[in-house]
Amino acid sequence: MNQQDYIALEDQYGAHNYHPLPVVLSRGQGAKVWDTEGKEYFDFLSAYSAVNQGHGHPKIVSAMVEQAQTLALTSRAFYNDKLGVYEKFVCEYFGFDKVLPMNTGAEAVETALKLCRKWAYEKKGLPENQAQIIVCENNFHGRTTTIISFSNDETARKNFGPYTDGFLRIPYDDLEALKAALESNPNVAGFLVEPIQGEAGVYVPSDGYLKGAKALCEQHGVLFIADEVQTGISRTGRRLAVDHEDVKPDILILGKAISGGVYPISAVLANDEIMNVIKPGQHGSTFGGNPVAAAVAVAALTVAQEEKLAERAEELGQKFRAAISEYIEGSKIAKLVRGKGLLNAVVINDHEESETAWNICLRMADKGLLAKPTHGNIIRFAPPLVISEEDLMKGVKIITDTLQEFEDEAERVSMAEVNHPDHVEQI
Ligand SMILES: *Cc1c(COP(=O)(O)O)cnc(C)c1O
């Protein structure tokens, strides 16, 4: 079968809930992936930051294979010899008393919301069914019915109602708005926030925002819930993005790279005061905390630490932004680059609905670099953190060469408009 055949199969038999770039991948190693025809690409998406440790990391893969061959699934009806070991490891790694293991990011967010509500009724004493959780505009926390209920992305939300109640939405990166919401609503239980808004387009809040938000939450007896599904596990140049401001969340949500991308694993961490409100039978998942997940997560977190991935992300991220910024100074097509560590985005100088960012991604794929627009005119660049500096700079060259081609083409079109205003379409 050729690439078109594989694409046709997905098109015919798969629900059309994604719009992929027309690239069919069949192999990955480190920061690189190969398509079915053997063409090599730098992966600058890393499966939305799930593959921070790189494709096919031998330590993570062998932990998975070994455990799959030994014991894959017991369900939580019984104990197993891997879960407790992982639980201790992950709690010590992030400094919490307890963890609740789930599988996907959205499930972990759901878990955190349920935990927050239950805590609010049983510990804070809110009247039953009155708890409110504050969320931010342009949030992305996953795709379940409750989560899309508090999204303001119409594509994610429209015609999926009726929606779940109990959420207040405020602008992101706005401490005054948070303060006002906390002061005017006595039934607030928690504040759910992404330390950097990834899907929205890598929006980095002002310095001090997270620290200020945590302080406001403390002042009002409200739980600060950090969704680090995308920003966690070394991606932004720290173990967690909240570490940039030395903020300790009351509830920490992890997913994606906690498995190194080989297996769906997510986790919710909190201290006993909060986590102990959950009793047997009140929450769970058949696959949550299975032995394979436990073994894989220990390996993936160990790799992040051993290979100093946070330090690498910090250093390489600065080089990436410096190189791209230098190009952008003289650019008409790219407006700015922003991000932390190796979670970065370039904003294309065009309106939100334009095809320019998509077309740039197609051209970059031709040249051997994979990235995707997040929202309209924003392209996210998030290579695996194991990428070498040399490969990162090769990637930068592909990005800037592509942008330059688009600048030149736009220039030619506008020259043509001047010379032959009625015949632009012939160029
Ligand atoms: C990807 C993501 C999720 C959802 O994770 P899934 O595994 O896709 O359910 C939640 N929160 C954030 C911040 C994410 O980036």
The residue contributing the CA closest to ligand 1 atom 10 is 141
| Banded pLDDT at 420 (limits 50, 70, 90) | low
For the question of whether the overall pTM of this predicted structure is more than 0.85, the answer is: yes
Architecture of domain 3-53+308-419: Alpha-Beta Complex (3.90)
pLDDT of residue 350: 85
Distance CA 172, CA 230 (A): 17
Q: What class is the 58-306 domain?
A: alpha beta
Q: Which of 94, 140, 320, 381 is catalytic?
A: 140
Dump the DSSP string for 394-415.
HHHHHHHHHHHHHHHHHHHHHH
pLDDT of residue 375: 84
Is 48 close to ligand 1, i.e. is its CB under 6 Å away? Answer: yes
Residue 426 pLDDT exceeds 50: no
Whether 113 and 192 have beta carbons less than 8 Å apart is answered as: yes
Is 257 close to ligand 1, i.e. is its CB under 6 Å away? Answer: no
Whether 379 and 372 have beta carbons less than 8 Å apart is answered as: yes
Is 194 close to ligand 1, i.e. is its CB under 6 Å away? Answer: yes
Is 198 close to ligand 1, i.e. is its CB under 6 Å away? Answer: yes
Rg, the chain, Cα only: 23
Residue 418 pLDDT exceeds 80: no
Residue 427 pLDDT exceeds 90: no
Atom of ligand 1 nearest to the CA of 266: 7
Backbone φ, ψ for residue 35 (5° rounding): -90, 180
Distance CA 390, CA 322 (A): 15
Mean pLDDT of 44-71: 98
- Distance from residue 174's CA to the centre of ligand 1 (Å): 23
Distance CA 237, CA 232 (A): 9
pLDDT of residue 421: 58
Percent of the chain residues past pLDDT 70, beyond the cut: 98
The residue contributing the CA closest to ligand 1 atom 5 is 105
Return residue ranges of the chain for CATH 3.40.640.10. 58-306
Is 229 close to ligand 1, i.e. is its CB under 6 Å away? Answer: yes
227 has catalytic annotation: yes
- Distance from residue 98's CA to the centre of ligand 1 (Å): 21
| Banded pLDDT at 422 (limits 50, 70, 90) | low
Look at 172-181, 226-235, 320-329, 374-383 and tell me which has the smallest mean pLDDT.
Answer: 374-383
- Distance from residue 237's CA to the centre of ligand 1 (Å): 19
Is 227 close to ligand 1, i.e. is its CB under 6 Å away? Answer: yes
Average pLDDT, rounded, for the chain: 96
Atom of ligand 1 nearest to the CA of 50: 1
Residue 86 pLDDT exceeds 80: yes
**Which of 260, 197, 272 has its CA nearest to residue 386?**
260
CA distances from 82 to 76, 289, 342 (A): 12, 9, 32
- Distance from residue 68's CA to the centre of ligand 1 (Å): 25
Return residue ranges of the chain for CATH 3.90.1150.10. 3-53+308-419
**pLDDT 10s digits, 109-118:** 999 999 999 9
Percent of the chain residues past pLDDT 90, beyond the cut: 93
Distance CA 402, CA 366 (A): 10
pLDDT of residue 75: 95
In a mutational test of the pocket of ligand 1, which residue from 109, 197, 236, 259 has the highest number of ligand atoms less than 8 Å from its CB? 109
